[in-house]
Amino acid sequence: MSNQARRDWRRRRVVDESSKTRKSRERNLVRANQFIRDKSGLPRPLQEEVARIYRKLSTEGFVTGRSIAGVSAACTYLVARQESLPRQISHIAESFDVTEKELSRLIRQVSRKMNMHKITSPDQFFDKFISDLQLPANIHIQVNNLWNIIKPHDDIWQGKKPMGVAAALIYKASNESSNPRTQSEVCAVANISEVTLRGLLRLFNGLLQQLGHESLQ
């Protein structure tokens, strides 16, 4: 084979491989869009934002070697969090049929790559948990009052699961109202263990007692 023929062969091979890669990426984008549309549970404009982020990751080669469902799920979680519509990792993992461990890892990786770091605040879960527990709307007042007391003392609650902090405050507020909920009911909604809830209640009890407020029951 002459040098010219060898160069032509190499050039055709590169073109063929690039074409195969492009077609494979396009097929994967279609699948990702289907996942996002059918499983994200987000409004259409946010679905489009999730798809945009996925396309960017795909173009940059991030998706290669990773699951399409997993990356789609991570993008869904991050967009929801960014728009103050936080979703629980466990719920998204179940919806996209990926493990919580895989999803958590991908969320960290995508967050770093796309500069989407943001600390989820417990108050972002108040509406959902109160609704899921079928508590009256006016319970928000007690929950927000408690949060306003706890919030400045970030050494107590930062680093804890925001779902757990929200659950503890809602549990306290509900049990001071005429619509109490049990620990097991609150934990089921927040997807935390009763051990975690009781641990948070003890921490908050100590703080409230120091501040002269009633403790969490």
Between the alpha carbon of residue 156 and those of residues 56, 116, 120, the distances in Å are 38, 25, 16
Residues of the chain with pLDDT > 70: what percent? 86
Is 3-113 in CATH node 3.40.50.300?
Answer: no
For the cut 60, the answer to whether the pLDDT of residue 215 exceeds it is: no
**Would you place residue 11 in the very low, low, confident or very high pLDDT band (cuts 50, 70, 90)?**
low
Residues of the chain with pLDDT > 90: what percent? 61
Let me know: does 101 contact 67? Beta carbons within 8 Å. no
**Looking at domain 122-210, what is its CATH homologous superfamily?**
Cyclin-like (1.10.472.10)
C-alpha 82/C-alpha 10 separation (Å) is: 46
Q: What is the pLDDT of residues 99-158, one digit of tens each?
A: 999 999 999 999 999 988 777 789 989 999 999 999 999 999 999 999 999 999 888 887
Q: What is the pLDDT of residues 31-59, one digit of tens each?
A: 999 999 999 999 999 999 999 999 999 99
Question: What are the residue ranges of CATH 1.10.472.10 in the chain?
Answer: 3-113, 122-210
Q: What is the pLDDT of residues 21-38, one digit of tens each?
A: 556 778 889 999 999 999
Mean residue pLDDT of the chain comes to 86
Instruction: Give pTM, 2 decimals.
Output: 0.60
Q: Which of 128, 133, 69 has its CA nearest to residue 98?
A: 69
pLDDT at position 86, please? 77
pLDDT at position 1, please? 57
